[in-house]
Amino acid sequence: MTFDNKQRHQHLEMIPLATQIAWLFILAAPIACIAWTITHEEVFREPRDYCIRISKGSNHFWKRKFFYLFTCEYCFSHYVTVLVLFLTRYKLLLNDWRGYVIAGFALVWVANVYMSLFGLIRIDIKKEKTEVMEIEKKVEDHGTEDNGQ
């Protein structure tokens, strides 16, 4: 069986740039979701508290740094990104090891933009909930005062 030059190098052809960019923004979403959930949400509070305790109280430098990685969404997003790159074989711009490196840093950056936006939205929602609760309390207190007269 003989292969012509094009067939031999077909694996080196690049995916169109628009498709690569779409993958970048799509893959960054689950990376952000996983990193945020593990480093912030209540469901992982106990393991996170344990990691915080070890990262602050250990006498060993490597232990403090290792356990800190599970408490910082930015740090943890690098590890999630490596896993995603391993599972998807996603490369950006170049079709060799350099494409993995570029993709890795780009995914981390976009995922962290997503997490920053999500954090701002959560703060805004929390602020609104607090304001609504204060207004409801004032209305409730005002209603109690009117009934007491």
- HSE, CB side, 13 Å, CA atoms: give it for residue 122: 9
Angle CA 74–78–82, to nearest 5: 160
Helix (H, G, I), strand (E, B) or coil at 15: coil
The structure tokens listed for 26 are: 């799509």
Q: What is the structure's pLDDT at 10?
A: 47
Q: For residue 10, what are the CA distances in angstroms to 5, 15, 90, 149?
A: 9, 11, 17, 86
The structure tokens listed for 92 are: 């950006």
Q: What is the structure's pLDDT at 102?
A: 97
Domain ranges of the chain: 17-120
Do the beta carbons of residue 111 and residue 77 sit within 8 Å? Answer: yes
Do the beta carbons of residue 85 and residue 100 sit within 8 Å? Answer: yes
Q: What is the structure's pLDDT at 141?
A: 80
Q: What is the structure's pLDDT at 4?
A: 53
CA atoms of 132 and 38, how far apart (whole Å): 29
pLDDT values of the chain reduced to their tens digit, one per residue, 149 residues = 454 555 444 455 778 999 999 999 999 999 999 999 999 889 999 999 999 999 999 899 999 999 998 899 999 999 999 999 999 999 999 999 999 999 999 999 999 999 999 989 988 888 888 888 888 888 888 766 666 55
